[in-house]
Amino acid sequence: MAKEGGGPNWDGLLKWSIANSDGTSKPRNLSEEDRKWFMEAMQAQTIDVVKRMKEITLVMQTPESVLEEQGVSATDIEGMLDELQEHVESIDMANDLHTIGGLAPLLKYLSNSHANIRAKAAEVVTTIVQNNPKSQQLVMDANGMEPLLTNFTSDDDVTVRTKALGAISSLIRHNKPGVTAFRLANGYAGLRDALSSENVRFQRKALNLIQYLIQENPSDCNVVTELGFPRILTHLVGSEDPEVREGALRGLYELSKDKSGKANVSTHEDEEKLKQVLQERINSISIMSAEDLAAVRDERLLVDSLWTTHYNEPSSLREKGLVVLPGDDTDDLPPDVASKMFESPLRGSSRLANSDDKSKKKDAPLLLGP
């Protein structure tokens, strides 16, 4: 059941799958012939992917000047990296990229002269290391953290900085050596700068990583406080972007849990500013429609919890019955401080939101010969 030329007959595979999975009959045992054909088709596809990854590696290893002479543009390279990203979504293929020699040239693309290529290369690195300890170690061993940190902290293009931060976030999650390297490279200062930017996507990614870091390393609360994060987070609570607001509230809440007390040292002015910002959010939430209230479910409880933590009393949201509404899924709510102090029946656990874009697949370039 293979096509002429040796490739898998995917149309035939689709028809066979539909015919044997229509839901109208019990699954039947595969005949030896069907099993052999199916395995050959899948093996052929795997071989094709590895072959294609080797071809992409060859292109990545080719000097930029040679590619330009052969008419390969920056847009072509972006399309090629799009394709590579799809291939390495498989953990096995992600790990194989190093084996076939493709990881090192990919990391070099982080320093490419074209901003779009630097950004796309960071996206591919993100896919490779995400929930993949082996590839995390391979990238660390290949000194991949250094160009990512450079792009994150000092690239002129904010998209490149944002994508580099996304790659760093995936690289250091559940990776203690990665977290240590990030801290030693003054990564927290970079996060502070990201929060101070005017780019919402950059702010969101920074807020997500900050929450993760101080959850995993509570002792870092002191460093974060000394760098002035509480004031910046307080300012971001007034953001027009709901994800930024929620991320800032979560960051402030994590800092408020610091048992050492060092992260809670603030001036009277800082406390008054926080109280003013929280009251503004309470006022806004209080006049929201039912639909809008549902959209800010976590924000409602975070505002109330922060108010309770700092001022030792429930917020007026609780008095108005707006902290938890009928129909709210309380199993997925952020931690509720007030319920413990004022005997409310709420319960919850923290939730971390993260989203990312999926790029469209483009045709990849091939070298045009010697």
Cα angle at 213 between 354 and 263, to 5 degrees? Answer: 125
pLDDT at position 97 is: 96
- Between the alpha carbon of residue 351 and those of residues 114, 224, 331, 332, 335, the distances in Å are 36, 21, 10, 7, 9
C-beta of residue 172 within 8 angstroms of C-beta of residue 182:
yes
Residue-wise pLDDT tens digits, 296-343: 999 999 999 999 998 999 999 999 999 999 888 766 556 554 444 443
Alpha-carbon distance 84 to 259, whole Å? 46
The domain segmentation of the chain, as residue ranges, is: 46-185, 221-324
Average pLDDT over residues 155-170: 98
**Is domain 46-185 classified as CATH 1.10.3720.10?**
no
Residue-wise pLDDT tens digits, 74-92: 999 999 999 999 999 999 9
Q: Name 40's Cβ contacts closer than 8 Å, sequence gap at least 6.
A: 2, 8
Residue-wise pLDDT tens digits, 330-359: 665 565 544 444 433 332 333 333 444 444
Locus of tokens 């391979």: 138
Nearest one of 323, 310, 316 to 279, comparing CA atoms: 316
